């Protein structure tokens, strides 16, 4: 027997209309390219979004057409987040840190029909342009007249009437897409449905995920082109939180200044961003008042426990770790201290927070190794598999990735994890980064996070190098803090009490900087290449 409730479609339109009718007075704030602070309220955001929707329809954008953005985090990008999907078109955020050829591949693969480009990113777009054919280019935040053949965003939307007749969309309609850029193979497109984004937005807003509330000042430092800024803009709009966006200014001083001025309460970014902020705060104690901040979310790569402790003990700022993937819209797990640990010592709580936490509702996890599904014992490593309401079911137009899905419909994440008895995961590695030494697995992530707890170490990445007997052994590439010194023997002695003896790196190489990916993560493929011929003694 079927139930008798409305089949109410879960679309971004409902989130948009809610903000428009309930939160017209709430503010959207951002730092523009020229460093000035811009602000308007949700009523203006909603009106401009409806104008964008009409302008796109007038330009001949049809349902299912992909409309790309190449931009920083700011008001017009938020308008695109809604204006494009609200007409049934697909918001395609482009990663501005990619190489022009990689961007061209992605634009061509997605067959983008139009692109919104920040004026400050036109030099990048000009390198992509000869390699693609995108009929409509709209320049955002233009400070001067735009070149022939381009449209100017403000003129475009001021001439368009606000679209009042937005379509009722099916909730399975594609709303947005992001490409993942692995270190091997071509980028792969993830195509989010309206339904998945709405459910993710609801999930994210729960207290044991990000718990975004109306009273918050939410600052997504994570770019809007990286996995929907982790869904923070959608969630803020749904609950009517103030949005405070950094624009292109992601240096520690600009961020801290923005948090201070705008009384930010909740923010999110990758570990490298917070490492910079920590150094800045250490060097400038008490100059800024960040006491309004109640949560700093961090994810994208593993978070050293030392970073969490330093923020908490030295600055009273709460770092909370989350794990996710572009393929999961993106939040999978969040490391809020479970109720059962309320009375635990600080030491145990910090150790918990250095793990990746428990799954969000509507996300299920399991892990598998060559013996089958692994027990939830906190010891046995296996590849993490997920399924849920906002997990990819296949990549966009990509026949080669069927092996990323199990026969019973779970997504294989490529991450190696252990799972504790209470469902808390700890990411040990990407499967390709795991070090296989004499048949045993060594977690490069655990070694790096521990090394970054050494007072002389700014950054560390651990990679496998060939070994005649053990096949692979760990090598630690270490960046020392300015003016600090440490020898390989010091670092080995520092790690020794924390790990089994066979985990300790055989070699420590001191380098100037760890190479980064377009998402600000350590680019280990480049390090592996650099140390490819490294020979360890037998």
216 binds ligand AMP (CB under 6 A): no
Active site residue 326: no
Closer CB to ligand AMP, 430 or 473, in the complex: 430
Beta-bridged to residue 192, according to DSSP, are 176
Residue with tokens 């480049």: 526
Closer CB to ligand AMP, 243 or 449, in the complex: 449
Could you tell me the smallest distance in angstroms from the CB atom of residue 415 to ligand AMP?
5
Pattern 185-214, ligand AMP, x by CB under 6 A: ------------------------------
176 binds ligand AMP (CB under 6 A): no
Q: Which of 27, 152, 155, 180 is catalytic?
A: 180
Could you tell me the smallest distance in angstroms from the CB atom of residue 144 to ligand AMP?
35
323 binds ligand AMP (CB under 6 A): yes
Closer CB to ligand AMP, 252 or 324, in the complex: 324
Which part of the chain contacts ligand AMP (CB under 6 A), choosing from 316-324, 370-378, 495-503, 506-514?
Answer: 316-324
- Residue nearest to ligand AMP according to CB distances in the complex: 326
Closer CB to ligand AMP, 45 or 522, in the complex: 522
Active site residue 440: no
Closer CB to ligand AMP, 49 or 428, in the complex: 428
268 binds ligand AMP (CB under 6 A): no
Contact with ligand AMP (CB under 6 A) among 13, 120, 301, 424: 301
Q: Which residues, in sequence order, are CB contacts of 276 under 8 Å at separation 6+?
A: 251, 252
Please, which of residues 389-418 interact with ligand AMP by CB under 6 A? 413, 415
Tokens of 250: 């992601």
Closer CB to ligand AMP, 305 or 356, in the complex: 356
Contact with ligand AMP (CB under 6 A) among 202, 325, 334, 495: 325
Tokens of 447: 């070694």
- What is the torsional sign of CA 230, 231, 233, 239? negative
Could you tell me the smallest distance in angstroms from the CB atom of residue 269 to ligand AMP?
12
Active site residue 432: no
Which part of the chain contacts ligand AMP (CB under 6 A), choosing from 294-302, 416-424, 435-443, 499-507?
Answer: 294-302
Could you tell me the smallest distance in angstroms from the CB atom of residue 162 to ligand AMP?
35
Closer CB to ligand AMP, 52 or 519, in the complex: 519
Active site residue 253: no
Please, which of residues 352-391 interact with ligand AMP by CB under 6 A? 356
Residue with tokens 């591949």: 105
Which helix (H) or strand (E) is 447 found in, with range? Answer: helix 444-451
For ligand AMP (CB under 6 A), the number of binding residues is: 18
Rounded Cα distance between 133 and 112, Å, is 8
Cis peptide before 330 (omega within 30 of 0): yes
Determine whether 537 is exposed, middle or buried from the number of CB atoms within 10 Å of its CB (0-12, 13-18, 19+): exposed
Closer CB to ligand AMP, 13 or 73, in the complex: 73
Q: What is the DSSP letter of 344?
A: S
Which helix (H) or strand (E) is 17 found in, with range? Answer: helix 12-22
C-alpha angle 341-343-345 in degrees, rounded to nearest 5? 90
Which helix (H) or strand (E) is 125 found in, with range? Answer: helix 122-128
- What is the torsional sign of CA 533, 414, 300, 93? positive
Rounded Cα distance between 243 and 39, Å, is 10
In order of 26, 67, 223, 295, 303, the CA distances from 267 in angstroms are 18, 27, 12, 7, 16
Rg, the chain, Cα only = 23
Q: Do residues 107 and 135 make contact, with C-beta atoms less than 8 angstroms apart? A: no
CA atoms within 13 A on the CB side of 463: 21
End-to-end CA distance of the chain: 69
Contact with ligand AMP (CB under 6 A) among 71, 519, 522, 527: 519
Which part of the chain contacts ligand AMP (CB under 6 A), choosing from 257-265, 299-307, 340-348, 529-537?
Answer: 299-307
The site for ligand AMP (CB under 6 A) is made up of 180, 227, 299-302, 321, 323-326, 330, 356, 413, 415, 427, 430, 519
Active-site residue numbers? 180, 327, 436, 441
């Amino acid at each position: 027997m079927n139930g008798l409730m409305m089949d109410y479609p879960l679309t971004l339109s409902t989130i948009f209309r809610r903000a428009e009718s309930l939160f017209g007075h709430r503010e959207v704030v951002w730092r523009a390219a020229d460093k000035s602070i811009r602000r308007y309220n949700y009523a203006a955001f909603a009106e401009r979004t409806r104008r964008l929707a009409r302008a796109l329809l007038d330009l001949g954008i049809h349902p299912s057409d992909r409309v790309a953005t190449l931009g920083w985090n700011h008001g017009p990008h938020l308008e695109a987040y809604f204006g494009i999907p609200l007409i049934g078109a697909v918001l395609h955020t482009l990663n501005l840190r990619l190489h022009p050829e990689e961007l061209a591949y992605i634009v061509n693969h997605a067959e983008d029909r139009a692109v919104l480009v920040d004026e400050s990113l036109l030099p990048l777009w000009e390198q992509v342009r000869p390699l693609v054919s995108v009929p409509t280019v709209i320049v955002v935040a233009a400070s001067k007249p735009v070149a022939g053949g381009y449209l100017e965003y403000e003129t475009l939307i001021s001439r368009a009437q606000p679209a009042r007749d937005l379509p009722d969309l099916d909730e399975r309609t594609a709303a947005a897409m992001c490409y993942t850029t692995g270190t091997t193979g071509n980028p792969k497109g993830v195509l989010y449905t309206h339904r998945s984004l709405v459910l993710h937005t609801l999930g994210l807003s729960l207290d044991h995920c990000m718990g975004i509330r109306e009273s918050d000042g939410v600052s997504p430092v994570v770019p809007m082109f990286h996995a929907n800024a982790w869904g923070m803009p959608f969630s803020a709009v749904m609950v009517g939180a103030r949005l405070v966006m950094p624009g292109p200014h992601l240096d520690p001083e600009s961020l801290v200044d923005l948090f201070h001025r705008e009384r930010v309460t909740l923010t999110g970014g990758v570990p490298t961003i917070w490492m910079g902020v920590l150094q800045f705060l250490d060097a400038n104690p008490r100059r800024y008042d960040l006491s309004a901040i109640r949560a700093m979310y961090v994810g994208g790569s593993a978070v050293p426990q030392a970073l969490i402790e330093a923020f908490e003990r030295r600055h009273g700022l709460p770092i909370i770790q989350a794990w996710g993937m572009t393929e999961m819209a993106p939040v999978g797990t969040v490391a809020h201290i479970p109720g059962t640990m309320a009375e635990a010592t600080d030491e145990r709580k910090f150790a918990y927070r250095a793990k990746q936490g428990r799954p969000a509702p509507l996300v299920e996890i399991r892990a598998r190794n060559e013996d089958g599904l692994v027990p939830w014992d906190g010891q046995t490593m296996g590849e993490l598999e997920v399924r849920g309401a906002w997990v990819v079911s296949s990549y966009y137009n990509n026949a080669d990735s069927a092996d990323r899905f199990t026969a019973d419909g779970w997504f294989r994440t490529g991450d190696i994890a252990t799972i504790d008895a209470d469902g808390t995961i700890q990411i040990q590695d990407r499967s390709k980064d795991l070090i296989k030494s004499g048949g045993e697995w060594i977690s490069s992530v655990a070694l790096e996070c521990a090394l970054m707890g050494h007072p002389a170490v700014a950054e560390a990445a651990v990679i496998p190098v060939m070994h005649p007997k053990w096949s692979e052994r760990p090598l630690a590439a270490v960046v020392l803090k300015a003016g600090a010194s440490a020898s390989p023997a010091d670092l080995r002695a520092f790690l020794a009490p924390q790990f089994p003896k066979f985990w300790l790196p055989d070699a420590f190489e001191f380098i100037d900087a760890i190479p980064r990916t377009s998402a600000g993560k350590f680019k280990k493929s480049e390090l592996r290449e650099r140390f490819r011929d490294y020979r360890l003694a037998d």
